[in-house]
């Protein structure tokens, strides 16, 4: 019986666990976001989104402080791992104090006093999240994809369930705090129990110095990347009503969930592979081309599908009060298409040890939407979406030019890698638009089923023909 189970269940390093993790994360994130927001209403959801944005702006970069440096380093010793953990927890404690003190200021700026207590509670989670982030990076380095998938498949249902219970109990915006708290603490406990790593009580300054040339610019880039949306929401909250913030958040999060499927799968596969090939530029270029194809194969149909079905999807999942989120969701989805065509550029710069490039591109993507926000002064979610997409569109050309130069490959080489996903997506788009035109006015579930079913069938058939019935190259080599 055990032998049968072992044959059925993929090995710990199988890409199947990457798919399970990313798809599971997207599904549970979408369910949690949409159903909790629907239960508590737009105003409470807007308040909860602002509190979560304040927490995650600080949390994400601290949790990833040394993770990428540990992943990229060839000669990793225990002194590097243990020292990185304790320094990360120390920084998290400082961040906890800072966020705790900043809570009243944020609440005052937004005009929502309840935010003070919500942010105070969330700040206490920072040390646990920091430790979890470092343990997850070590698991990724070892390609323990099964452990990373368990983190999602076990902990996210628990957190979504807790959040929905709190929402049903009438806790309003606090339901989103409950969801975040359960997610953070359960992930920490699971990784601590199953990672098999017991750090030493040591902080080696030389080890930190070894990691910092990679960690420093990379963490600034991650800080900007994560803070870009969070700060955008905070600034928007100072300009428009909380209801508009909530609608904007729902629209953006629909795409964010979809992009997490792509970026999650892409980064999980790309970072360890490209880092292992950092001294063989030709092999790295070949690997990058395969990963770029895989990223487009996953990302293009998701983005186009969201853009086509956004009105029906919002109506089905959220109901009438949220229908204004449909158009901004469509705009942001279409703007994501170019980003899916350039390959896993952040992983490339990490593997090459040129993490300053990630910082530069993220700074551009950070500044452009905020400048547009201040200039345009939007009054609704559609206007906010127009401001936001400028950041994405401004970074793509730079990533293409610099990435191809680093790989010593021409643009036509990248186009060749992307021919299959582009052709298949074009065929899918034509069929989906044709069906969408003929199901206009039908119930949302029926329309989505017909559009999605016909589009997916067309896409899969085209891939079967174009790939000769084989898996994409990035999955064959794993």
Over 80: is that where the pLDDT of 188 sits? yes
Which tokens sit at 241?
A: 């009503």
> Residue 13 has what pLDDT?
62
Burial class (CB in 10 A: 0-12, 13-18, 19+), 117: middle
Decide: 167 and 40 in contact? Cβ < 8 Å.
yes
Which pLDDT score, from 0 to 100, does residue 144 have? 84
Q: Pick the closest to residue 357 from 220, 473, 183 (CA basis).
A: 220
pLDDT tens, position by position, 366-423 = 888 888 888 888 877 778 888 888 877 888 899 999 999 999 999 999 999 999 999 9
> pTM surpassing 0.85?
no
Distance from C-alpha of 332 to C-alpha of 256, rounded to nearest angstrom: 10
Cα radius of gyration (the chain): 22
Phi, psi of 64 (to 5 degrees): -105, 15
pLDDT-based confidence at residue 6 (cuts at 50, 70, 90): very low
Instruction: List the one residue out of 220, 244, 267 whose CA is nearest residue 61.
Output: 220
Average pLDDT over residues 422-427: 95
Domain locations along the chain = 15-238
Which two tokens mark 248? 């904007």
Structure-derived torsion over alpha carbons of residues 126, 128, 133, 136, reported in degrees to the nearest 10? -170
CA gap 332, 369 in Å, rounded: 12
With cut-offs at 50, 70 and 90, classify the pLDDT of residue 3: very low
Q: Mean per-residue pLDDT for 19-38?
A: 70
Does 242 score more than 80 pLDDT?
A: no
pLDDT at position 2: 43
* pLDDT score at 248: 74
Q: What is the DSSP letter of 339?
A: G
pLDDT of 62 reads: 86
Backbone phi, psi, residue 152, to 5°: -85, -50
Residue 410, SS3 per DSSP:
coil
């Amino acid at each position: 019986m055990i032998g049968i189970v072992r044959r059925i269940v993929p090995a710990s390093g199988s890409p199947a666990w990457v798919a399970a993790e990313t798809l599971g994360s997207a599904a549970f994130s979408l369910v949690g976001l949409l159903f909790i927001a629907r239960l508590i209403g737009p105003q409470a959801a807007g308040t909860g989104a602002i509190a979560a944005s304040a927490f995650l702006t600080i949390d994400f970069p601290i949790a990833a402080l040394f993770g990428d440096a540990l992943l990229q380093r060839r000669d990793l010793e225990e002194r590097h791992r243990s020292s990185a953990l304790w320094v990360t927890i120390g920084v998290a404690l400082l961040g906890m104090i800072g966020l705790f003190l900043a809570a009243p200021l944020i609440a005052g700026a937004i005009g929502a006093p309840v935010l003070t207590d919500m942010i105070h509670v969330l700040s206490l989670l920072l040390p646990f999240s920091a430790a979890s982030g470092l343990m997850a990076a070590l698991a990724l380095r070892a390609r323990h994809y099964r452990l990373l998938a368990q983190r999602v498949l076990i902990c996210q249902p628990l957190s979504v369930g807790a959040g929905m219970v709190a929402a049903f109990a009438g806790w309003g915006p606090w339901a989103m705090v409950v969801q975040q708290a359960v997610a953070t603490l359960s992930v920490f406990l699971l990784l601590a129990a199953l990672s098999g790593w017991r750090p030493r009580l040591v902080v080696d300054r030389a080890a930190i110095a070894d990691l910092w040339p990679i960690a420093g610019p990379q963490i600034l880039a991650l800080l900007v990347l994560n803070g870009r949306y969070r700060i955008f929401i905070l600034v928007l909250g100072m300009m428009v009503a909380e209801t508009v913030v909530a609608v904007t958040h729902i629209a953006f999060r629909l795409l964010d969930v979809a992009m997490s499927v792509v970026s999650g799968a892409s980064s999980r596969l790309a970072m360890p592979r490209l880092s292992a090939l950092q001294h063989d530029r030709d092999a790295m270029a070949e690997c990058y081309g395969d990963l770029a194809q895989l990223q487009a194969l996953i990302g293009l149909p998701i983005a186009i599908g969201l853009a086509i079905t956004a009105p029906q999807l919002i109506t089905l999942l959220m109901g009438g009060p949220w229908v204004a989120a449909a158009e901004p969701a469509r705009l942001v989805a279409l703007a994501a298409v170019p980003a899916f065509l350039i390959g896993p550029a952040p992983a490339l710069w990490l593997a090459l040890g040129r993490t300053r490039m990630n910082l530069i591109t993220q700074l551009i993507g950070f500044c452009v939407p905020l400048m547009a926000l201040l200039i345009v002064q939007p009054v609704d979610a559609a206007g906010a979406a127009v401001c936001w997409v400028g950041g994405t569109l401004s970074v793509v050309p730079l990533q293409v030019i610099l990435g191809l130069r680093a790989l010593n490959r021409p643009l036509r080489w990248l186009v060749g890698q992307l021919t299959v996903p582009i052709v298949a997506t074009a065929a899918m788009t034509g069929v989906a638009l044709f069906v969408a035109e003929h199901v206009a006015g039908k119930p949302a579930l029926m329309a989505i089923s017909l559009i999605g079913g016909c589009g997916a069938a067309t896409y899969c058939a085209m891939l079967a023909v174009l790939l000769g019935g084989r898996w994409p190259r990035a999955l064959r080599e794993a």
